[in-house]
């Protein structure tokens, strides 16, 4: 009986890994909302603890600093972006259409207000993050997926041969960097799905015409 009681106390005193993961997730969700709305400097660990209903000590046990917590927030956002890309419906047939759909989804994911806010923090708080900022894991599975789509389009003769990785990075720069940077700077030029897709269509046509040696889709 004494041994049984001891085991019960042990179970009560030591949350399971699933419970610990759920607690960490609640903290990260609360921190994401606060960082996105108040910025990095305007968010405190106390505010995060209050938002998620945890004690400050609980927050610090899992994330020893605000920088560590923000890095966890960015990591979660990156994993969510990958999950969204993995859920894209399979487009059969034309590899160029598959590449088009992938880049368009990347654009929409990166233009989500919460992600724009996190990007703004990353670039504005470079001193806090030791002048490098939280970065995705390398190699980045998102870039790997995009590079694979470029290779398939090359093999189908839809775009010219060349360094597929470099082409993938240029696609990201041309198709995604412009509107996301504008949004990070506070511009409302791309504040609707219609304006985002208008930018995508314009840029896609002239870029792909160049990559295909002047051939249109």
List the domain boundaries for the chain. Answer: 1-64, 75-217
Query: Is domain 75-217 in CATH 1.10.10, yes or no?
Result: no
Confidence category of residue 125, pLDDT binned at 50, 70, 90: confident
- Average pLDDT value for the chain: 84
Query: Is domain 1-64 in CATH 1.10.10.60, yes or no?
Result: yes
HSE toward the beta carbon, residue 101, CA cutoff 13 A: 15
What is the mean predicted confidence (pLDDT) over 2-18? 53
Same fold, 1-64 and 75-217: no
Does 29 have pLDDT greater than 50?
yes
Does 160 have pLDDT greater than 90?
no
What is the mean predicted confidence (pLDDT) over 112-129? 81
HSE toward the beta carbon, residue 214, CA cutoff 13 A: 0
- Tell me whether residue 17 is exposed, middle or buried, using C-beta atoms within 10 angstroms of its C-beta: 0 to 12, 13 to 18, 19 or more: exposed
Helices (H), 53-192: 56-62, 66-86, 95-110, 113-124, 141-155, 164-172, 178-184
Cβ–Cβ < 8 Å for 36, 118:
yes
Confidence category of residue 8, pLDDT binned at 50, 70, 90: very low
Does 113 have pLDDT greater than 70?
yes
Percentage of the chain with pLDDT > 70?
A: 81
Does 174 have pLDDT greater than 50?
yes
What is the mean predicted confidence (pLDDT) over 128-149? 72
């Amino acid at each position: 009986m004494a041994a049984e009681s001891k085991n019960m106390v042990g179970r009560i005193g030591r949350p399971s890994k699933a419970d610990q993961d759920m607690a960490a997730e609640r903290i990260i969700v609360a921190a994401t909302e606060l960082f996105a709305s108040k910025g990095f400097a305007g968010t405190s660990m106390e505010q995060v603890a209050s938002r998620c209903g945890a004690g400050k000590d609980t927050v610090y046990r899992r994330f020893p600093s605000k920088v560590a917590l923000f890095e966890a927030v960015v990591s979660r956002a990156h994993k969510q972006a990958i999950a969204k890309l993995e859920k894209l419906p399979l487009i059969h047939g034309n590899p160029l259409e598959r590449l088009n759909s992938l880049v368009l989804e990347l654009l929409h994911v990166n233009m989500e207000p919460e992600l724009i806010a996190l990007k703004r923090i990353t670039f504005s708080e470079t001193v806090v993050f030791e002048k490098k900022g939280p970065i995705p894991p390398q190699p980045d599975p998102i870039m790997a997926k995009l590079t694979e789509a470029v290779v398939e389009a090359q093999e189908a003769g839809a775009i010219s041969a060349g360094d597929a990785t470099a082409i993938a990075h240029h696609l990201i720069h041309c198709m995604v960097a412009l509107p996301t940077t504008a949004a990070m700077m506070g511009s409302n030029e791309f504040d609707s799905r219609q304006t985002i897709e208008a930018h995508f269509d314009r840029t896609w046509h002239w870029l792909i015409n160049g990559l295909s040696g002047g051939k249109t889709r």
